[in-house]
């Protein structure tokens, strides 16, 4: 019930209030498994995709967000579930495998799943080298990959403001990428890297960002 509320009630309301420019949404297949691969510029990127994709999209979410106590905790877990978050642990290799497995279950059921190839938000506005998880999923499931470019979302909450302000936002959904030519080669690290680089180039073409051929560290890693 809540996913329908998000899609058909909150979605139109948010789009009317913030008026994002949406391009290429018809590139998202209406049915069947599909991976969305967006650049990541702000904390609200997930919400922007949720309210503009015109299809229910699942995302990875920190498991601790779903374990709050009492009524408040239950409401938060229900709201995040309605937005499409799938709870997963984070922080180690085993957690990474569990995250990929959670995404694969959604794709195997014919759903849509979004993963940020950069792994974390870009704090410098540039597009960073992509991790190979999206490629691994695409190769293992046969799902097509829709590159997504978000621009302007970093201006929605300047200075950490709690209530998003209006800002010029553009969401561009690119043409689906088909990697069926690599069928049966999903275990090859070289193929995964090649597919990842192709995905990142497609995002770059849509976003116009400067590209950096190095991984972006998470904020907690940068402080270490």
The rounded distance, in Å, linking the Cα atoms of 134 and 196 is: 7
Structure confidence by residue, pLDDT tens digits, 135-179: 999 999 999 999 999 999 988 877 667 777 788 899 999 999 999
The region of weakest confidence among 4-13, 24-33, 164-173, 195-204 is 4-13
Count the Cβ atoms, other than its own, within 10 Å of residue 93. 7
**Can you name the residues that pair with 57 across neighbouring β-strands?**
112
pLDDT of residue 218: 62
Task: Give 75-78's long-range contacts (Cβ < 8 A, gap of 24+).
Answer: 78/2
Structure confidence by residue, pLDDT tens digits, 112-141: 999 999 988 898 999 999 999 999 999 999
Residue ranges and CATH numbers for the domains of the chain are 2-222 (3.40.1130.10)
Provide the token pair at 62. Answer: 């920190």
Query: In whole angstroms, how far apart are CA 215 and each of 62, 106, 119, 152?
Result: 21, 27, 8, 22
Structure confidence by residue, pLDDT tens digits, 14-73: 788 778 899 999 999 999 999 999 999 988 898 899 889 989 999 987 766 667 777 777
pLDDT band, residue 75 (cuts 50/70/90): confident
Contact 143, 137 (CB under 8 A): yes
Contacts of 175 (CB under 8 A, 6+ apart): 24, 27, 146
Instruction: Tell how strand 170-173 and strand 144-151 pair up.
Output: antiparallel
């Amino acid at each position: 019930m809540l996913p329908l509320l998000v899609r058909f009630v909150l979605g139109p309301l948010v789009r009317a209030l913030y008026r994002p420019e949406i391009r290429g949404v018809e590139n998202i297949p209406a049915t069947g498994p599909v991976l969305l691969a967006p650049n990541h510029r702000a904390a609200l990127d997930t919400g922007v995709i949720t309210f503009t994709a015109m299809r229910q999209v699942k995302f990875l979410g920190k498991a601790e967000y779903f374990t709050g106590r009492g009524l408040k905790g239950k409401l938060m877990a229900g709201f995040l579930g309605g937005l499409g978050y799938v709870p997963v642990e984070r922080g180690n290799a085993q957690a990474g495998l569990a995250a990929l497995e959670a995404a694969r279950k959604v794709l195997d059921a014919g759903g849509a799943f979004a993963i940020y190839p950069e792994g974390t938000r870009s704090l410098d506005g540039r597009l960073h080298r992509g991790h190979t998880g999206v490629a691994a999923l695409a190769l293992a499931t046969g799902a097509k990959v829709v590159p997504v470019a978000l621009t302007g979302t970093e201006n929605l909450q300047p200075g950490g403001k709690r209530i998003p302000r209006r800002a010029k936002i553009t969401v561009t959904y690119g043409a689906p990428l088909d990697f069926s030519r690599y069928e049966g080669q999903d275990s090859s690290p070289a193929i995964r890297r090649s597919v990842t680089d192709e995905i990142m180039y497609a995002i770059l073409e849509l976003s116009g960002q400067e590209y950096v051929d190095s991984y972006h560290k998470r904020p907690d890693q940068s402080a270490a």
